[in-house]
Amino acid sequence: MGMAEQNTSETFGFQTEAKQLLQLMIHSLYSNREIFLRELISNASDAIDKLRFRAIAKPELVGADADFQITVDLDVKANTMTITDNGIGMTREEVIEQLGTIAKSGTAEFLDQLSGDEKKDASLIGQFGVGFYSAFIVAEEIEVLTCAAGETQGTRWVSRGEDEFSVDEAGELSRGTRVMLHLRKDAEEFTDGFRLRTILRKYSDHIGVPVRMLKQTTGSAATDDTPEETDDVPEYEVVNSAKALWTRSRSEIDDSEYREFYKHVSHDFEDPLSWSHNRVEGKLEYTSLVYIPKRAPFDLWNRDAPKGLKLYVRRVFIMDDAEQFLPLYLRFIKGVVDSGDLPLNVSREILQQDDRVTSIRNALTKRVLGMLDTMARKQPDDYQSFWDEFGEVLKEGAGEDFSNREALAKLLRFASTSENSNKKTVGLDDYLERMIEAQDKIYFLTAESYENASNSPHLEVFKERGIEVLVLFDRIDEWLMGSLTEYGGKGFQDVMRGDLELPGEDDEKDTDEDKNKEEAESKTDEESSALTDRIKAVLENRVEGVRPSKRLTNSPACLALGDFAMGIQMRKIMEASGQSLPESKAHFEYNPNHPLLQKLDEESDEKRFEDLVLVLFDQATLAEGAPLADAAGYVNRLNSLLLELLSD
Ligand code: ADP
Ligand code: MG
């Protein structure tokens, strides 16, 4: 896309997505525009972290300029602010790549989600991470001068944030990056040194790099309460505490600092929901600071999305997105782990096999589950909002992490017939508490949607007897329930499967009354066995078996799956992925007390009997949300029955 103007200067159009994001950001974030400082300081600090890391193997990259720092200069007259770091810098190619495009995968999808409603968009943009471009909220022009570590020739990048940016050679420069903002008229407030100090402190107190400003010559508000950090250039002073947050002790850190640090590590714009900061000593030494975000990132379901913690070894930054410290189902957790034991030259491959890493991972997993459990008990509203965002991811864990199965099961939340809503608010402990007398199973139903499930004929008898049924309709649910076997000593029972046994059915046999009842029942069984055989003759090839139902009170018939048959949800997923599955047959259950069935029993016209049975079978199939094998046949039969009805 580049268009050469001279030998060295080139003008580039912004990538479409970058342009769109820029415009949106300027509008949506205007009321909170000071955050551009957080982003620029955060980038400068990342650049220094990256250089420190590279210098472990190549100390000459740092050379004599080993005093890592970030400097903020103001020129009130010119209305400019300049943020300088002596970090890793960028090459010409990197400048074009990093400051001209948005490299994140899923950017286009993200932009599609934006609504035009500024408030909503602002928080979405926050989730996406605003980064460098946020400086255009306050700057009408930005000039970046940068020189990569190990090189001497620098690059200049200039843009007004509209359509294009230009890049040219900047001659000899010292290592690092200098970002000069030509502030907009209405952003003059940021050239007020005292105000700027306050904002800087807020956004940089938690990073491990000193941030300097020129000593204020008038007034006295400029104080520096961290005497341990001094500077060798006399007229500058350090304005932040310059101590990495997680290295400080918990009692010294207030909540607002934890929140700011979260925004720095996560690139999130919103506050976190919760966090946990711990130093572990003994056989293994490490510090962890983990955060639970408020909202799921837009790329939570993207396999390639970065995930994991920021890894430090003895306070030296090693890598972003260290995935090995948490299981995949906790991929939404953000934060830092600082190990005292790992070698500085640790690689991703080493992390994968290292026993120390495995131990930290096990401990961190328990810690996060503990945080969630505490939240569920003490801040149920927070927990509910967590579940709404991340519940489906946590279900992956409940299905695969055997060592934490009980803790994970406790955290699950489902929709349920007791709540009469599609909100997933019911925990298994709630369920156990509400079980009726003699109930020893946790009943559940999986379906494609809540609406589909809530009208299922399978729920009729449960509604009548006041037995709660969990209603599951996430794609992952059938898989999940396949691996959950029991909770609190109670087994799980799919209400669509098998020959249903309801509470109280076995152990009432002794009383006389029940004996009579039983006799009565077996009589109806016998009576209906003739009907069963007639129906069986019609449905022979279509079903596994035919039986009178214990499930139904209102509907004439339903289908029940075999104990080990694949459910409809799973079947659809497998078929969608192109697998051909063997046909699975269900049991046809009919309601002998339903007037339709009673009439059917009296039907002597065999052809008519057959049509009616087939219609009932197709209707039961439809009620499961499954497609009909022969939809046209169904329509024909129904029409001829209707015609008979009308001509009677
Ligand atoms: P992010 O920090 O989330 O990657 P940004 O938009 O803030 O996104 O920055 C984009 C990229 O530009 C950074 O990833 C980095 O490669 C580069 N960059 C920005 N500022 C600097 C800097 N001061 N020094 C070196 N590289 C930088
Ligand atoms: Mg950034």
3-state secondary structure 45-78: HHHHHHHHHHHHHCHHHCCCCCCCCEEEEEECCC
CA 142 to ligand 1 center in whole angstroms: 14
The answer to whether the CB of 492 falls within 8 A of the CB of 481 is yes
Its CATH architecture, for the domain 528-561+586-647, is Up-down Bundle (1.20)
Ligand nearest to C-alpha 45 = 1
pLDDT of residue 574: 78
Q: What is the mean pLDDT of residues 509-524?
A: 47
Identify the sign of the CA torsion 604, 605, 611, 614. positive
Order of all β-strands in the sheet with 274-280: 274-280, 286-292, 334-339, 309-313, 316-322
Q: Residue 628: CB partners within 8 Å, gap ≥ 6?
A: 618, 621, 622, 634
CA 266 to ligand 2 center in whole angstroms: 10
Does residue 511 or residue 372 have the better pLDDT? 372
Instruction: Please state, in angstroms and rounded to a whole number, the distance separating the CA atoms of residues 484 and 17.
Output: 44
Closest CA to 179 of 131, 236, 132: 132
pLDDT of residue 509: 44
For 166, the enclosing helix (H) or strand (E) is strand 164-172
Q: Ligand 1: does its nearest atom lie under 6 Å from the Cβ of 134?
A: no
What angle is formed at CA 386 by the lines to CA 380 and CA 391, rounded to 5 degrees? Answer: 115
Q: Which ligand 1 atom is at minimum distance from the Cα of 89?
A: 25
Query: Of all protein residues, whose CA lies closest to atom 7 belonging to ligand 1?
Result: 131
- Which protein residues have a CB closer than 5 Å to ligand 2 (ion)? 43, 131
**Is 90 exceeded by the pLDDT of residue 517?**
no
Order of all β-strands in the sheet with 557-560: 545-548, 587-590, 557-560
pLDDT of residue 129: 64
Helix axes 512-539, 595-602, angle to 10 degrees: 60
Return the structure tokens found at 138.
């306050």
pLDDT of residue 227: 47
Its CATH architecture, for the domain 247-376, is 2-Layer Sandwich (3.30)
* Domain residue limits, the chain: 3-242, 247-376, 528-561+586-647
Give the model's confidence band at 224: pLDDT under 50 very low, under 70 low, under 90 confident, else very high. Answer: very low
pLDDT of residue 128: 67
Give the mutation target among 36, 42, 46 for probing the ligand 1 site: most ligand atoms within 8 A of CB.
Answer: 46
Range scoring the smallest mean pLDDT among 77-86, 229-238, 284-293, 505-514: 505-514
Q: What is the DSSP letter of 323?
A: G
Range scoring the smallest mean pLDDT among 20-24, 415-419, 515-519: 515-519
| Mean pLDDT score across all residues of the chain | 87
Q: What is the mean pLDDT of residues 569-589?
A: 80
Q: Which CATH number fits domain 3-242: 3.40.1160.10, 3.30.565.10, 3.30.365.10, 3.60.20.10?
A: 3.30.565.10
pLDDT of residue 527: 56
As a whole-number percent, the residues of the chain with pLDDT over 70 amount to 89
Does residue 617 or residue 528 have the better pLDDT? 617
Return the structure tokens found at 621.
């199939």
Instruction: Please state, in angstroms and rounded to a whole number, the distance separating the CA atoms of residues 126 and 343.
Output: 35
**Is 50 exceeded by the pLDDT of residue 516?**
no
Query: Of all protein residues, whose CA lies closest to atom 20 belonging to ligand 1?
Result: 43
Give the model's confidence band at 78: pLDDT under 50 very low, under 70 low, under 90 confident, else very high. Answer: very high
Q: Residue 227: CB partners within 8 Å, gap ≥ 6?
A: none
The answer to whether the CB of 231 falls within 8 A of the CB of 212 is yes
Give the model's confidence band at 229: pLDDT under 50 very low, under 70 low, under 90 confident, else very high. Answer: low
pLDDT of residue 61: 95
pLDDT of residue 119: 67
Q: Ligand 1: does its nearest atom lie under 6 Å from the Cβ of 176?
A: no
